[in-house]
Structure 1
Amino acid sequence: MKRSYSLRAGFTLVELLVVIAIIGVLVGLLLPAVQAAREAARRMQCSNNLKQLGLASHNYHDTFLTFPAYRQKAGSPSAADFQGYGPLISFLPFIEQQALYDQIKTVSRDFYLPISPTVDNLVATTPMAAFSCPSDMPFPSATVRGNCNYAVSAGSNIGWTIAESRRNGVFGMDAPTRMAMIVDGTSNTILFSEHLTGDGDDGTYRQKTDLVRAQPWSANESTQQGPITDAQVEAYGQACDAGRNNHTSYYGYRWGRPVYIYTVFNTVAPPNWKYPSCMTCSTCGAGDSKGVFPARSRHPGGVNVVLADASVRMMTETVDLQLYHGLGSRNGGEVVTLP
């Protein structure tokens, strides 16, 4: 009896290995493109958040005829400087958060009382998509979700306790500014930018998100006093890097506070500075001190900024430092052209 055999087509081992190799190459080519597309989407969302803050600041100005100071000091005589209310609180009614603003206003008795644990807890438990850049990682805490990636510009000065006349940003510490005071032009003056959130781990140093303490500043304090030179910024950065053992890791921790590491930055050092953010105070837990507090982001190559005309631009980390100082100053008389 004659037997019949059926022949089954198949791959040889060599063919299978070739196919696997081709698939591996294609996946290797595809993944970076997918990651780039995702980052482009995150960056677009981040840019849109800044655009909304720029428009909110204009609406605030239309209502009150000023921009808010970056520190709304509590009315109580016993309130310390850092116990005031941050600038982003002032913008809540203009980003459809009137109810939250009213809650804070009621608890603080019309901002008379120093910022309290009740207000801090309200902020901590209220994550705000409008204040968060999706390219960054949130603060690693199950209870503190009210983080902040956006900061108002205090200008090209080291801030806090310097003379009021040297505070050359759109946002002053105590004195509100008006649109007419931006004499350098709204399209040539930075209003907001980005910064990163820390990790709350003071035992581990991370250059991008930690703040170094106790580094005295001996150079000029602002462009009003004379240009802060590239060499002076570089020297300070090196000193700060050497003092990294004394640092804190709470950048972007709360959006309700009026200090540098939470809601304020300056343009003394370039975006994504290669050195850590740094302040002169030796014991301050937050940025209630003079210092250098750069804009930072996880976007490749630079940071998003919103100008005083409410337009959003990407500011490269290789920007000329003196040009960047001019963009931070509202009244320095610099002739600048955005790169």
Structure 2
Amino acid sequence: MPRGFTLVELLVVIAIIGVLVGLLLPAVQAAREAARRMQCSNNLKQLGLAAHNYHDTFQAFPPYRQKAGNPSALDFQGYGPLISLLPFIEQQALYDQIKTVSRDFYLPISPTVDNVVANTPLAAFSCPSNLPFPSASVRGSSSYSVSAGSNIGWTIDESRRNGVFGMDIPTKFAMITDGTSNTIMLGEHLTGDGDDGTYRQKTDLVRAQPWTANESTQQGPITDAQLEAYGQACAAGSNNHTSYYGYRWGRPVFIYTVFNTVAPPNWKHPSCMPCTTCGAGDSKGVFPARSRHPGGVHHVLADASVRFVTETINLQLYHGLGSRNGSEVVTLP
């Protein structure tokens, strides 16, 4: 007569299977993240090449804010840098649509053009490791930003702007005197959740925190101690925050399509700005690169190479990599 399994034996087998699954699950998750990270890197590589092709065509990079021709347009209603790159990532039809709707970029980007952008999610602008903006009506979020350099941006003097992408004035390869292989051009950021009622440090932007250090490393160093003091003040003031990071890829402001290298990648404190009421990042401030990849963030250098920059990078080295013309002798390890 055949002998069956006892209850104890079945329980032991189930327990062994459970242990094996528990051991296997982290490996599966790691493999999935590796695949997502590779796709994210590939997206950034294509954007880097698109920026190069734009430069080849127009002999300059697009500014990160292209003001609408209409003088009544507000500063944050200009056109963001990712719109300029659309024809160079096989999105000529979408670019032409935006150009038509905006009357050759005369109209302010809100609300007419926003409706085109909001309803057009692009895989090229989305890192699989990131989370899309959770809105059925706004699907055109972005995981990627252009670098404004090691300065707090927006209202600072033009002479202190030191990134590959300028605010209103186009920059050229000839202006990257530190070398294209030593200068950051693009990076990642995380998307928010649109819930201003709940604060989340990694994806929210804190407002109303005055900045008292140098506005740019063109003026002199911005130190770890100064950043830590500012970060602590920002964390303490998190009751005034906005949760719309990465909301629209067509906009020209910091939390949507621009970052700076003032603070290191995945900074432990929230992104932060002095403006008290700005809903978008139309203010100077500290807007770090961020990702959900363990240990760091992908960046694209001005030579279009993609490098993974660890969150423990030396701050002065990172500032040097963010600056296109600071004469720093720096290279990524």
Q: TM-score, normalised by structure 1?
A: 0.97
Letter in 2 for 1:231: A
Letter in 2 for 1:46: C
**Aligned counterparts of 1:76 and 1:27: Cα–Cα separation in 2:** 61
**1:105 matches 2:99:** yes
**1:203 matches 2:197:** yes
Name the residue aligned to 1:82.
76
**Aligned counterparts of 1:256 and 1:328: Cα–Cα separation in 2:** 23
Name the residue aligned to 1:119.
113
**1:178 matches 2:162:** no
Larger radius of gyration: 1
**Aligned counterparts of 1:299 and 1:168: Cα–Cα separation in 2:** 27
Letter in 2 for 1:244: S
Letter in 2 for 1:92: L
Name the residue aligned to 2:87.
93
Report matched runs for 1:209-248 at 5 Å: 209-248=203-242
Name the residue aligned to 2:67.
73
Give the superposition deviation at 1:77.
1.3
Give the superposition deviation at 1:14.
2.3
Name the residue aligned to 1:4.
none
Letter in 1 for 2:152: I
Name the residue aligned to 1:149.
143
Residues 278-324 of structure 1: CA distance to partner in whole angstroms, max 9, x if unpaired? Answer: 01100110000010000000000000001000000100000000000
Query: Secondary structure, in 3 states, of the residue corresponding to 2:35?
Result: helix
**1:291 matches 2:289:** no
Name the residue aligned to 2:307.
313
Residues 106-148 of structure 1: CA distance to partner in whole angstroms, max 9, x if unpaired? Answer: 1111112211312101100000100001101111111110000
Name the residue aligned to 1:159.
153
Letter in 2 for 1:67: F
Name the residue aligned to 1:15.
9
Letter in 2 for 1:299: H
Name the residue aligned to 2:130.
136
Q: TM-score, normalised by structure 2?
A: 0.99
Name the residue aligned to 1:25.
19
**Aligned counterparts of 1:250 and 1:333: Cα–Cα separation in 2:** 36
Query: Secondary structure, in 3 states, of the residue corresponding to 1:335?
Result: coil
Give the superposition deviation at 1:17.
1.8
Give the superposition deviation at 1:198.
0.3
Letter in 2 for 1:167: R
Query: Secondary structure, in 3 states, of the residue corresponding to 1:291?
Result: coil
Name the residue aligned to 1:3.
none
Would you identify which runs of 4 or more consecutive aligned residues in structure 1 move more than 3 Å?
none
Give the superposition deviation at 1:16.
1.5
**1:337 matches 2:298:** no
**Aligned counterparts of 2:180 and 2:269: Cα–Cα separation in 1:** 30
Residues 84-122 of structure 1: CA distance to partner in whole angstroms, max 9, x if unpaired? Answer: 000000000000000100111111111122113121011
Structure 2 residue runs without a partner (length 5+) = none
Residues 227-278 of structure 1: CA distance to partner in whole angstroms, max 9, x if unpaired? Answer: 1111111111011001000000000000000000000000000101110000
**Aligned counterparts of 1:337 and 1:147: Cα–Cα separation in 2:** 32
**Aligned counterparts of 1:233 and 1:176: Cα–Cα separation in 2:** 29
Name the residue aligned to 2:183.
189
Give the superposition deviation at 1:79.
1.3
Residues 48-70 of structure 1: CA distance to partner in whole angstroms, max 9, x if unpaired? Answer: 00000000000000000000000
**Aligned counterparts of 1:188 and 1:208: Cα–Cα separation in 2:** 27
Cα-Cα RMSD: 0.7
**Aligned counterparts of 1:144 and 1:85: Cα–Cα separation in 2:** 17
Query: Secondary structure, in 3 states, of the residue corresponding to 1:292?
Result: coil
**Aligned counterparts of 2:331 and 2:50: Cα–Cα separation in 1:** 25
**Aligned counterparts of 1:97 and 1:233: Cα–Cα separation in 2:** 39
